[in-house]
Amino acid sequence: MKDSLKWNEAPECAPMSDPLSVALDLCDKDAVALVRHALRHKQVKLAYQPVVQTANPDRMAFYEGLLRVHDSAGRVIPAESFIRAVEDTEMGRILDALALEKGLEVLAAEPGLRLAINMSARSIAYPRWKQVLDRGLQDNPTVGERLILEITESTAITMPDVVQVFMNELQQKGISFALDDFGAGYTSFRCLKDFYFDIMKIDGMFIRGIHQDVDNQLLTEAMLSLARHFDMFTVAKNVENHMDAAYLASIGVDCMQGYYFGVPTINPYWQKTG
């Protein structure tokens, strides 16, 4: 199930052979208890993955901040052991609020950075999430122009009227919105028609191996045409090799994201010294 809490894209997650992973797989309730404890103590970090400009892959368009929850020993708690149990609960909303809090902190500390943070449409009405955003913008108004909020189409369509008002209000403050995992659901066209997203992120299921998959080539080119019609910037996700990157460049994708250009890391360049 896709949602704003995207955990399966980072190598920091403990492998399935890791003792913690095995233990958590044996008892989801224990995993949720660990997450509840982690949230109480704010044991979370962001892992940053670059989104590069297709025309100049050495230049970053922005980074995506992916939330990681860890235990008291610093080990990442595998998301598959708890995500389904918390995504529709207040714990899911707290995770969104913490991701935003961490993102706003790094944006305030790094004036040259542009950062995307995931959120569920379910968090729009959550007071803590809104308080975090208002406080961040009040402390440093410039962060709004460098913040991108990523919403999956699957959650955006659950409350279209609320999402429309929410996006319009925040876009007036300079915040951009990305429609994440486009093409993964059954409501894609309605999302394009009803919402004014700034960025379309094409789901990785269409991108992996695209250089030799005629069907995915056709579908991706159709999505690019839709994005251009609705004046949306395009990002291809899960780009994992040179052949796919070359093909995507040839059809005019604006930006690319994936392991070929960089894995998510909790130690980005701006935190390195020496």
Per residue in 219-250, pLDDT (tens digit) is 999 999 999 999 999 999 999 999 999 999 99
Instruction: Match domain 19-263 to its CATH number in 3.20.20.450, 3.90.180.10, 3.40.50.620, 3.30.360.10.
Output: 3.20.20.450
Q: 44-53 and 56-69 as β-strands: parallel, antiparallel, unpaired?
A: antiparallel
Amino acid 79: pLDDT: 76
Higher pLDDT, 17 or 131: 131
Percent of the chain with pLDDT over 90: 66
Higher pLDDT, 84 or 3: 84
Look at residue 111 in the predicted model and tell me its pLDDT: 94
The pLDDT of residue 4 is above 50: no
- 16, pLDDT greater than 60: no
pLDDT at position 25 is 52
Q: pLDDT averaged over the chain?
A: 87
The stretch 95-105 carries a mean pLDDT of: 96
pLDDT at 7: 44
> What pLDDT does residue 75 have?
86
Q: Which amino acid is at 121?
A: A
Q: SS3 for the chain, per residue?
A: CCCCCCCCCCCCCCCCCCHHHHHHHHCHHHHHHHHHHHHHCCCEEEEEEEEEECCEEEEEEEEEEEEEEECCCCCECCHHHCHHHHCCCHHHHHHHHHHHHHHHHHHHHCCCCCEEEECCHHHCCCHHHHHHHHHHHHHCHHHHHHEEEEEEHHHHCCCHHHHHHHHHHHHCCCCEEEEEEECCCCCHHHHHHHCCCCEEEECHHHCCCHHHCHHHHHHHHHHHHHHHHCCCEEEECCCCCHHHHHHHHHCCCCEEECCCCCCCECCCHHHCCC
pTM of full prediction above 0.85: yes
Q: What is the pLDDT of residue 19?
A: 55
Asked whether residue 84 carries a pLDDT value surpassing 90, the answer given is no
Half-sphere exposure of 72 (CA within 13 A, CB side): 6
pLDDT band at 73 (very low <50, low <70, confident <90, very high): confident
> Higher confidence at residue 269 or residue 24?
269
What pLDDT sits at residue 184? 82
pLDDT in tens, 164-217: 999 999 999 999 999 998 988 765 677 788 889 999 999 999 999 999 999 999
pLDDT for residue 108 is more than 80: yes
pLDDT value of position 13: 41
